């Protein structure tokens, strides 16, 4: 999967409404992601796979551990996005250039972490789909 890097000056011209819109989008994406991971956990725990598959139990347990890690990071990022959304609402009251720079840097760092995480999670989901599609009886 191709990785994308966000240029550090990409958000220097963003206004408060755009930042809030983007953060709300990422928040909804993280909520959906939790549902997707829950579905994959349920799928992996079901009894639909050919039990004769070599290393089936071990592979499923590895996927479950990866899901656990992604769920923890999803929860952490959701908290960070919600916090930053509230901070951006307060930004309206701040007119100083240093205040703008603080929010834009913080937003950039959060978005970079989110994009990287969402790419990694897409790889996990792709790995699980690829693995399970040939094992369902």
Tell me the pLDDT tens digit for each residue of 37-59.
999 999 999 989 888 899 999 99
Burial category of 6 from C-beta neighbours within 10 Å (exposed 0-12, middle 13-18, buried 19 and up): middle
Q: Break the chain into its structural domains and give their ranges.
A: 16-45+52-133
- What does each C-alpha distance from 32 to 37, 60, 84, 95 come to in angstroms? 9, 22, 19, 35
Tell me the pLDDT tens digit for each residue of 1-33.
455 555 555 555 667 788 889 999 999 999 999
Q: Which of the pair, 99 or 76, is modelled with greater confidence? A: 76
CATH number at 16-45+52-133: 1.20.58
pTM: 0.81
């Amino acid at each position: 999967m191709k990785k994308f890097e966000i240029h550090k000056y990409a958000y220097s011209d963003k206004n408060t409404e755009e930042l809030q819109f983007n953060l709300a989008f990422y928040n909804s994406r993280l909520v959906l992601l939790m549902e997707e991971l829950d579905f994959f956990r349920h799928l992996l725990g079901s009894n639909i796979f050919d039990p004769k598959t070599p290393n089936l139990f071990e592979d499923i347990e590895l996927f479950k551990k990866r899901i656990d890690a992604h769920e923890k990071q999803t929860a952490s990022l959701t908290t960070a996005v919600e916090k930053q959304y509230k901070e951006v609402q307060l930004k309206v009251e701040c007119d100083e250039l240093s205040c703008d720079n603080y929010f834009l840097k913080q937003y950039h760092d959060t978005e970079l972490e989110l994009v990287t995480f969402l790419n990694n999670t897409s790889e996990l989901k792709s790995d699980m789909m690829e693995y399970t599609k040939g094992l369902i009886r």
